[in-house]
Chain A
């Protein structure tokens, strides 16, 4: 393991974040604030409490998850797609670095950015609703695990994508619907029994549920199920990336 290349990639990616501060940090914060205004204040005041939590507070973990998933995927996918698109990836492929070091650099940077963003959104939400974090350790664990897992997924998408349209495809068609239908804005108890069953097939449900538990001690599924699901997902992403680098899929002709 050589840490210089990891550091070089990490710092270059973080520098890109700083250059594009507006898109990277400010715009997700603004859009989350809009959710609070619309769902939390305007609509939420007409929705009764869920498990003793006001609706505005109830959606905080879900909103953070929504941003965490979409931003992790889009950051990490863009980070590796751009050198592929510009051709500067030749340098990465010809450098004396292992696959693990490449992934640590890119995914580490994307995940750091998402975690930072998650914490900023958490702080922002404090302006709108009273905050309460029952299990801070688990909250951070879920935050980090989710950011890393979905940054890995984004990295895979970035390698798979052959154009900007495909780069947008998965976040738009898969991640956003799964998050919206994953209990970000409601408790799955509120659904008819059949749809409750269907919802349990959605991996995001387990993430949102576990994350919400770390805030309020209430959850749709058990904590163990949440932890197992996210670890499975993490393992699947790691295995896919291992396969990509072994075969040179979409990287080396």
Chain B
């Protein structure tokens, strides 16, 4: 079933001066998902978000937000969206409470102190509500930007590099907030170059490079399709060469025969060549090991491969 909350069709953006930031971007964001947009610096992540949110005029193409054209029906489209920008931009002398309340008014909603209170509490900003923004730490300012974006109860939240420059603890807290939002039905689109973040959070992943969407895939599918696993056995006795019974492409020797490395991707199990079969073969050949280590390729490895491939 197609239940896209954002539909991007044939989007092109060429800035004055000729730099093409987006090239024929087609993308659908499903209602209620967490979508991570991955890409190196300058790939077009922020431009894509900016076009959807109305900060940048597209050169060509169309964006539908919940069925509303983001230019022709900008009111309906924009009131559904909350945007947390990458840069920490704030009215330095405002208080937290005032700036968040201001955002709600700006988005055309009647004042609702109870909602502002719950947003500030969920972001651990309640104690700081009367502080001026200039007195807050970077991480706190980031939370204020999130609070501003949530002040008008958006159905879609864009987080542009939400955890850049944020310490590990705060990052985990933010992930928690994002998950709670998703549980309440908010669709979340985040850009990041912390791949760990996408791996941890996202339901689907889109990779953008040089203004083009290179790939969009369910995270687990992506990792099982493109990822691989390695099992390393530390042998008791080094081997000169592999016995003929074990001579297959997935197996190799390293560390001067002290280590036997088995590379697999999950399909071998189905063919009956998986780890149990390997262990049986080893026993039959009289090869023993003292320790083992497994490693799974991360999204980062996949990402680096993808971007390198297309460059």
A-B contact count (CB 8 A): 85
Would you call the interface of chain A mostly helix, strand, loop, or mixed?
helix
| CB–CB A7/B57 < 8 A | no
**Which residues of B sit under 8 angstroms from A96, Cβ to Cβ?**
74-79, 107-108
| CB–CB B85/A87 < 8 A | yes
B303 to chain A, nearest CB (A): 28
A248 to B59, CA, bound (A): 13
| CB–CB B55/A94 < 8 A | yes
**Which residues of A sit under 8 angstroms from B105, Cβ to Cβ?**
4-5, 7-8, 11
| CB–CB B90/A88 < 8 A | yes
A30 to chain B, nearest CB (A): 23
A9 to chain B, nearest CB (A): 7
| CB–CB A90/B85 < 8 A | yes
Please count how many residues in chain A sit with their CB below 8 Å of the partner chain's CB atoms: 28
B280 on the A face (CB < 8 A): no
B22 on the A face (CB < 8 A): no
B93 to chain A, nearest CB (A): 6
Among A16, A82, A94, max chain B CB count under 10 A is at A94
| CB–CB A8/B89 < 8 A | no
Type the 1/0 row for B96-120, where 1 means its CB is closer than 8 Å to any CB of A: 0010011111111110000000000
**Which residues of A sit under 8 angstroms from B110, Cβ to Cβ?**
4
**Which residues of A sit under 8 angstroms from B76, Cβ to Cβ?**
96
Type the 1/0 row for B75-89, where 1 means its CB is closer than 8 Å to any CB of A: 111110101010101
- Give the residues from 43 to 94 in chain A that come closer than 8 angstroms, CB to CB, to chain B: 82-83, 86-88, 90-94
| CB–CB A86/B103 < 8 A | no
| CB–CB A93/B109 < 8 A | no
| CB–CB A9/B106 < 8 A | yes
Type the 1/0 row for A220-253, where 1 means its CB is closer than 8 Å to any CB of B: 0000000000000000000000000000100011
Q: Which residue of A9, A11, A90 is within 8 Å of B55 (Cβ)?
A: A90
A164 to chain B, nearest CB (A): 16
A92 to B74, CA, bound (A): 13
CB nearest to B13 among chain A residues: A253
B24 to chain A, nearest CB (A): 19
| CB–CB B54/A91 < 8 A | no
**Which residues of B sit under 8 angstroms from A4, Cβ to Cβ?**
105-106, 108-110
B22 to chain A, nearest CB (A): 12
Type the 1/0 row for A7-19, where 1 means its CB is closer than 8 Å to any CB of B: 1110110011001
CB nearest to A94 among chain B residues: B53
Q: Which residue of B15, B75, B93 is within 8 Å of A19 (Cβ)?
A: B93
| CB–CB B90/A95 < 8 A | no
| CB–CB A86/B91 < 8 A | yes
| CB–CB B89/A94 < 8 A | no
| CB–CB A88/B91 < 8 A | yes
| CB–CB B106/A252 < 8 A | no
A21 to B108, CA, bound (A): 29
- Give the residues from 8 to 43 in chain B that come closer than 8 angstroms, CB to CB, to chain A: 15-16
| CB–CB A87/B102 < 8 A | no
B148 on the A face (CB < 8 A): yes
Given A86-B92, A88-B89, A253-B15, the answer on whether A93 and B106 have CB atoms closer than 8 Å is no
**Which residues of B sit under 8 angstroms from A7, Cβ to Cβ?**
105
B56 on the A face (CB < 8 A): yes
B170 to chain A, nearest CB (A): 22
A139 on the B face (CB < 8 A): no
| CB–CB B89/A2 < 8 A | no
- Give the residues from 21 to 45 in chain A that come closer than 8 angstroms, CB to CB, to chain B: none
Q: Apart from A4-B109, A96-B79, A98-B75, what are 16 other A-B pairs with CB-CB below 8 Å?
A: A2-B108, A4-B105, A8-B102, A8-B104, A87-B89, A88-B89, A90-B89, A91-B103, A91-B106, A93-B54, A94-B81, A95-B107, A95-B108, A96-B78, A96-B108, A252-B56
Could you list some 10 contacts between A and B, CB below 8 A?
Answer: A2-B75, A4-B105, A5-B106, A8-B101, A15-B94, A88-B89, A88-B91, A91-B106, A96-B107, A97-B75
The 3 closest A-B pairs by CB, nearest first: A8-B105, A87-B89, A96-B78
